[in-house]
Amino acid sequence: MKIEYRVNKAVSEKQFVDLLDNTSLAERRPVGNSKYIAGMLKNSNLIISAWVEEELIGIARAMTDFYYCCYISDLAVHEKAQDSGVGKELLQLTTQQINKDCKLILLSVPQTEDFYPHMGFEVHDRAWVLSSAKQLRN
């Protein structure tokens, strides 16, 4: 299969949800809420995608300032393309778009905890998550 990688190519809501449905991320993303999916795609300022013809088979969706930090909100590879180097290539192409000293930050699903150390990521024990803005206490 010939894979083409693209930087900031438009990804439709359907293509994104179809990809997520074929990964372990679907259960952790609002795949049934088109408003949220549309907002996630529209407001990402760096999207690296992997395609076989017009089928989206991988995505690295990020928010970044390009110099200090790059938060990878989604790194997803279709189950049929896993273990083929797509995830690694998406990360490498992401690093080519940012300053060489820019930090990559992400949260991992349990199924991929072994992948990230292999790629050079270090576990960070001081990450904090507020699941919803409405949970912020005054």
- The number of domains in the chain is 1
CB 47 within 8 A of CB 60: yes
Q: Give the domain range for residue 20.
A: 4-135
Look up the CATH number of the domain holding residue 118. Answer: 3.40.630.30
Dihedral sign of CA atoms 96, 97, 99, 101 in order: negative
Query: Could you give the C-alpha distances from 129 to 26, 30, 49, 109, in angstroms and in order?
Result: 19, 17, 26, 14
Q: Is the pLDDT of residue 111 over 80?
A: no
Q: How far, in Å, CA of 123 to CA of 114, rounded? A: 11
For the ranges 3-7, 43-47, 78-82, 120-124, the lowest mean pLDDT is seen at 120-124
Confidence label for 23 from pLDDT (cuts 50, 70 and 90): very high
